[in-house]
Chain A
Amino acid sequence: MNVRAQMSMVFHLDKCIGCHTCSLACKNIWTDRPGTEYMWWNNVETKPGTGYPTRYEDQEQYRGGWELKQGTLKLRLGSRPSELVNISFNPRLPTLDDYYEPWTYRYGDLINAPQGDDQPVARPVSMITGRDMEIEAGPNWDDDLSGSEIYAANDPNLQKLSEEERRDFFGLQQLVFFYLPRICNHCLNPSCVAACPSGAIYKRGEDGIVLVSQEKCQGWRMCVSGCPYKKVYFNWSTGKAEKCILCYPRLESGQAPACFHTCPGRIRYLGMVLYDADRIHAAASRPDAELVEAQRELLLDPHDPEVLREARAAGIDDKVLEACQHSPVYQYVKVWKLALPLHPEWRTLPMLFYVPPLLPVLATMSNNSYELSSDFFPSLESIRIPMSFLASMFTAGDEETIVKVYRKLMAGRLCLRAETVGDVPPEQVARALADAETTHEELQAIYRLTALATAEERYVIPTFLREEAIEATGDPQLFQEAAGAGFLRWPERGL
C-alpha cells in the first residue's frame, strides 16, 4: 500500500443556481492578466449544452484523456513518438474560435465623442489585437438555452439517447436543464501530466494539486489537448499553459478556494481523502461500467487503523489524517455513494465529484392557472432528465449506478417531506427507503450535510501552512531549504 492524501471536491448540482459568482471570483483573482482573458478556470455551463470550449466532451475530435486498447491504458492523443512528430503543430488543439475572442469596449468614446445628432456608443474592441470586432461568441453564450437547436441539441451526451427520449427531452412542456460548474479535477491519473512532453506539469505529493511549472513549460500545448475536460489553457501572451491551481496559496493559509468561498448556493464541499497510489493504474484500467466503483474502492477508510498506520509510515501528518476523517467528500463519495465523477470513461480518475440534480418539479398551465404537477415525487420512469443522459455524463453510460443514486436522493426527499409536512403515506416512505437500500439515519445525515452544514463542515482544510506543516513533522532547520520561495521574476517574455 502506498497511501497518499488528495484534496478533493464535491459539487451538489441540486443547489447550483447558475449565478456564476464562482467564475467571477476566480477571474478576478487569477485570470485578469493579458493572455488569460479568455480563460475560465472555473466555468458554469448549462446542460444540455455544448459547454466551454464548444463540444469539449467530443473526444473523437479532441482526443483527450485515456482509452483502453486491448486491455492497456493508452493516451488518446497518441503514442509518445507521435506526439514528438506533431510537436510543431498540434492537430488536436482547440483554437480561439472554440472558446471566444475576448473583448472590451471603447468606453472613452462615450465621454469624448464630439457633439452630434446620435448618442455615442462604446464599440467592442478585441483584447488581443485592439481592433474593432464583431462579437460572435462569449463566455456562457449558451447560458440557459435549453432546447435550442444550436446549443442544447449539440450536446455530445445526447448521442446516447433514443429518438423518443430526445423528443421528450426537447418538448416545450418538458424543457429542463441544470447547471454544471467545472474546475480542474486534480485527477489521480491526469492525462495532461502524461501528455506534457517537457514534464512541466506535476502533481503535488502532499495534497495532489496539479500544477504547471511556468519555467519548465515550453508551450508545446499537448496538455491542452490531453486534458479531456479542457481545463488546461494556453496563455497566448506568455506562451505557457495555465490551469486552476485550486487556490493553493489560499489553502495553505487555511482558506477555501475563491470559487468555494464565494458560492452563494453553498454547493461546494472540500475535503481530503486517502487513496492507494499503487492501485491507480489498475483502477483506471477497469471496464467502463466498473469505473465509478473502482474509484470508490481506491479511496481508503480514514478510520481503519491499518490505513492510518500505513499513512503515518508514508509521512502523512496527523493533522491531515484528522481532516480526512472529517472529510465531507469521503461521506458523499464513499459512504453515501451519492457523488459521481464527471465522465469517468475518460479514465483520468477525476477527484471532483458531482451529486446529480434531483428532478425538478413539473408545472403545467391548466384552466388559466399555473399548477404544480400533482406528481410531486415523480417515479424514476417518469422523470424529465433521461437517465441515459445522466449516465452518459456521470457513470460512463452505466444506468444502474445512476439509478441507485436517484433512488437515494428521492428517498431523502420523501422522508423529509413526511417528517416536515406529513402528507406522504408511511408505506410510501418505507418502500422508498427499501428501494434505495438506505436508512432514516443515513438520510438525516445526508440532509444535514446537504442543507444545514456550516462553512467549517463544508470546507475541511488541514493546516497546509508551510512553516507549520514542517514544524509538525520535524526539525524546521532541517527543512529550511525544502520550502521554496517560488517564482519571483516578472513573467515577461521580452524577445
Chain B
Amino acid sequence: MSVLTFKGGVHPYSGKEYTKNKAIDEYFPENGLFVIPLSQHIGSPATPIVKVGDRVLVNQKIGEASGFISANVHSSVSGIVKAIDNRKVANGNKVPCIIIENDGLYEKTNSMDNENYLEFSKEEKLELIKEAGIVGMGGAGFPTHVKLSPPKPENIDYIIVNGAECEPYLTSDYRRMLENPEIIVEGLKIVLSLFDNAKGIIAVEDNKLDAIVRLRKCVSKENNIEVKTLFTKYPQGGERSLIYATTKRCLDSSKLPADIGCIVHNIDTIYAIYNAVVKNLPLTTRVVTITGDAVRYPGNYIVPVGADIKQFIDDTGEFKDKAEKIISGGPMMGMALHDLNIPVTKGTSAILMFKKDEVSACKPSNCINCGRCVNACPSRIIPSRLAKAADKNNEDEFLKLNGLECIECGSCSYICPAKRQLTQSIKTMKKNILSNKRK
C-alpha cells in the first residue's frame, strides 16, 4: 500500500503520546454558567429563540439559523436562561451568546432514533443535518449542510474524511477512529448516499496504524469506501494537501473543493452527521484534547459546547505548573488565549497548555535567505519575500508573489532559523487585502 503525501511541509514534534492512549472520557460539569455563542460558524449569527428566564433542556434549539450560510444552535445543558449578551470567545472578539445556568440535571428533550433512516430521501437527510446545527469542526466552522449542497451534486466524485490529524498534540480524531470506527463508516455512508457518483475516502496518517486497521476492518464489505494511508507530515490534513494526496487534484484559492469534485469532512463532523441522521440528535458536544507539559492529567474528553474553559481545565486536566501559554486548537494553527473565561465551542479541538512559550523565547533576526520556508510552504510561494512585502505594506508585490494563496498553515514560521514571524505578517496582509476588496 502506497503512502500518499504532498510537496512541502514540516515535521514538528508530535507530542501525541501524552493523550494517545487515553480513552475518550465524558465531562459534564454539575454547576456553573454555560455560555453558548450564537456564532460558532462562518456566516451570520443565529437568532436567539429563547428568552431570559426560560428553562431550556439539553438538545433544545435556542438559536435559529438566520441566513443561507448560518447554523442552528442548541443547548448542551438544562437550566434557566440567565442572559443573552455579548461575550468574549477564543479569538478575542465579543459575540452574542446565550448564558444558561446549569442545573446539573442534563434533562433532555424527547427524541427518538430514526430507525428507518436508510429509507429517508436525500432532502430529508440534509434537513436533519441542517436542523442539527452541524458545522465543520476543524475550527473554521463552515455550515455542513451548505457544504453538502453544492450546485451540482452529481459532479462530486469523492467524499474525503479527514483523519490525518496532522496538528501535533491533538488526539481527539484518533480516539474517535479507534473507539467508534463503525460510526465513522456509517456516517460516511450517509453522506455518500446524498451523492450519486461519489466514492468515500477515509484518509489517515501513518502514525495511526491501529486506527487504520480498525477502519479497514469496518470498510471491508463496502465497495465504494477506501481507507488511505497518508505520510505523516504537517499540514497533511490541510484541505488542499489532503485532496492532492488522496486524489491528485489541485486546489487553489480561486476554487472550492466542490469545484474539483471533492468534499472534505472532519472526523467529528462525520460523527455529528451520524448522530443527527440516525439518533436525531443535534450537535451539542465535541471531543476536546487537553494536553501539554503544564497539564497534570492529559486526556480526551467529550465536552458540552458552552462549558467554561477555565472550569474545564480545573475539573479535568488541572494545572501541574504555571502555564505561560494556553492555546485553543493545535500548536500550528490554534489561537493563543489570553483569557480562560471563554466557552468551548463546536470548533474547539484542544486546549494546549505549555509551561514555556517557544515563540517569545526566540527573537527574530535577519532573514538569511536559506530557502527553508520556500521548501516548507505547501502553497509553493515564497514566504520570506511575501513577509517582506507585507511588512512594507507593498500590496502589488504581495499579489505578484501570489500571497493570497497562503493557507496560513504556519510551516514557514515554524521552520525559519532566523525565527521570523512570517505567517503572522502574511496573514495580516492577506486579511487587509481581502477586507479592502470587499469594501
Partners in one complex: no
- Residues of B with Cβ closer than 8 Å to A? none
